[in-house]
Structure 1
Amino acid sequence: MPLDVIALVLLGAALHATWNAIVKAGSDKSLDAAMIALGAGMVGLAFLPFVPLPASGAWPFILVSAFLQFAYFQLVAAAYRAGDIGLVYPLMRGAAPLIVASTSGIVLGEHLSNAALAGILVISAGVLTLAFESRHGGRHAFVLALANAVVIATYTFVDGAGARISGNAVSYTLWMSLLPPVLLFSWAILRRGRDVVAHHVKRNWKRGLFGGAGSIASYGLALWAMTKAPVASVAALRETAIVFALLISVVILKEKASIWRYLAGATIALGVLVLKLG
């Protein structure tokens, strides 16, 4: 994989960890996630006049992706209610690239080199190592996390193919960001009422805009990379976000990190090196 592609995917991973930290620090995980989606949509809307329309063949992918993103955010909230982040996040993010790598040959016709496959396996092993740090939540959280890993793998395929068909990964990303917040807020208003949702937006719009900008930039960089390198390799490399999350946890939030976190970070770093050599 080219060095510039690796560098930009790593930047996207850092942004991904940042906006996840914003959601984690919030008082209402479901509405905070919706706020991130809204912020991403607002950023996307602002830049739409400066990019060309995606190719016509990309629109079905954009529509399907919106509903997959809605399912993703709903499963994230449900999994975090059932179990702690130490178990749920590694399972979701670690299992997804394994699914992508094992099925990309069938779905996209991509065939990875042995070195690239080894790098993907090492990165995933590093992420999954974090699950040993916290095993609270039981079977329900485990099932929800794995279900979301399937959703993540599915939208990775959909968006990887859609970005290539669109002819412009940036344009695809911006248009793709518009519908998920509509779905998320419609659902939130239906479930919790307009006043509750409006109050949350009024108090947290700045956090949502900042996190949303990081979210759309992170995913846009990943989709651009998927037009330059195998989708499975990019999907695995994105999971280095867990390393940046570790740094945020220890350096900024002053949280204690167990030996499992440091072992996972070292394993992921090794996987990135193997992936580069592949």
Structure 2
Amino acid sequence: MLSPFSIAMVLLAALLHASWNALLRGGLDRARSMAMMNATLGIAGLVLLAIAGLPAAASWIYVVASGVLHWIYVALLLVTYRSGDLGETYPVARGSSPALVALGGSLFAGEWMNLIGIVGIGLVCGGIFMLAAAKGRLRHMNLPWALATGVSIAAYTVVDGIGVRASGNWAGYTAAVFAFFIAMPLWFLARSGAGFFKAPATEVAKAVGGGVISILAYGAIIWAMQASPMGAVSALRETSVVFAALLGAAFLGERLTAQRIVACCIIAAGAVVVGWH
């Protein structure tokens, strides 16, 4: 069972995650925005690593694995940009990952959930898929890429859940993982030249702001997974889609239909079950 403080931290991370997605949604060039955001993550990771120190050597293999999996995750997102709008596929990626994380936590960390916990995760996943269907996403998206993205999210979540427990230093572990992100903008720079990073000041500010928010959001998740079941943390994190729907209605002019409201209520009910089972 998650502590009330852990629940609050994960829900805050979900809100932050939805916020930076809303912040970047209107970007003129998503690939460039992603590169600048990852540059922010990488630089911040290196600075934090100098402050927090290295995690225990036993966790280094997990740091490397997480870094590589995050590279794969970003690559899948870029493929998604080319195969369809991110908003069409990301709900399925977010919806599939909690169940996969729960399965990974059971197989690799012995975190076998009881029936109530499984029901809670099922409600969260089902509600997210319903939210996607409510916007007509499921009929038009490139489903294989969405599911592949969900698998990558689940993979790095399970790796980080195990890795942070071996690290003895959650801040150092988080910093080391984020330090890997510096390779992504360097790759973009080598591929496209310095012109790739020339963008209006507003776009740069959005990307940097998104990077800072992302650090806070995922840092909170890594902190929570030190002592909480990975599947439960993942399910609570994906309530970000509810916050995204509310932020979209409040600031982006998106409609909250009856079906979307019901889906949000199902996700919220699942989060309650997962948090307090």
> Contact conserved, 1:94 with 1:125, CA < 8 A, in 2?
yes
> Contact conserved, 1:80 with 1:88, CA < 8 A, in 2?
no
Q: Structure 1 stretch 76-85 or stretch 207-216: which is displaced more?
A: 76-85
Partner of 2:254: 255
Shift of 1:54: 0.1
Partner of 1:47: 48
Q: Does 1:143 align with 2:144?
A: yes
Measured on the aligned residues, the alpha-carbon RMSD in Å equals 1.9
Partner of 2:120: 119
**Alpha-carbon distance in structure 1 between the residues aligned to 2:20 and 2:182:** 16
TM, length-normalised to structure 2: 0.92
Partner of 2:208: 209
> Contact conserved, 1:52 with 1:171, CA < 8 A, in 2?
yes
Q: 1:41 to 1:99 in 2, by over 3 A?
A: same
Q: Which amino acid aligns with 1:111?
A: W
> Contact conserved, 1:86 with 1:131, CA < 8 A, in 2?
no
Partner of 1:5: 6
> Contact conserved, 2:96 with 2:147, CA < 8 A, in 1?
yes
Q: 1:187 to 1:203 in 2, by over 3 A?
A: farther
Provide the aligned length of Structure 1 versus Structure 2.
Answer: 275
Q: Percent identity?
A: 35
Q: Structure 1 stretch 203-212 or stretch 18-27: which is displaced more?
A: 203-212
Q: Which amino acid aligns with 2:207?
A: G
Q: Structure 1 stretch 110-119 or stretch 256-265: which is displaced more?
A: 256-265
Which ranges in structure 2 are unaligned for 5 or more consecutive residues? Answer: none
Shift of 1:31: 1.5
1:69-108 alignment to 2 at 5 Å?
69-108=70-109
Q: 1:37 to 1:201 in 2, by over 3 A?
A: farther
Partner of 2:31: 30
Which ranges in structure 1 are unaligned for 5 or more consecutive residues? Answer: none
State the SS of the aligned residue for 1:229.
Answer: coil
Q: Deviations over 1:58-112 (max 9, x none)?
A: 1111112111111111211222332334431111000011112233221221111
Q: Does 1:187 align with 2:153?
A: no
Partner of 2:196: 197
Q: 1:81 to 1:256 in 2, by over 3 A?
A: farther
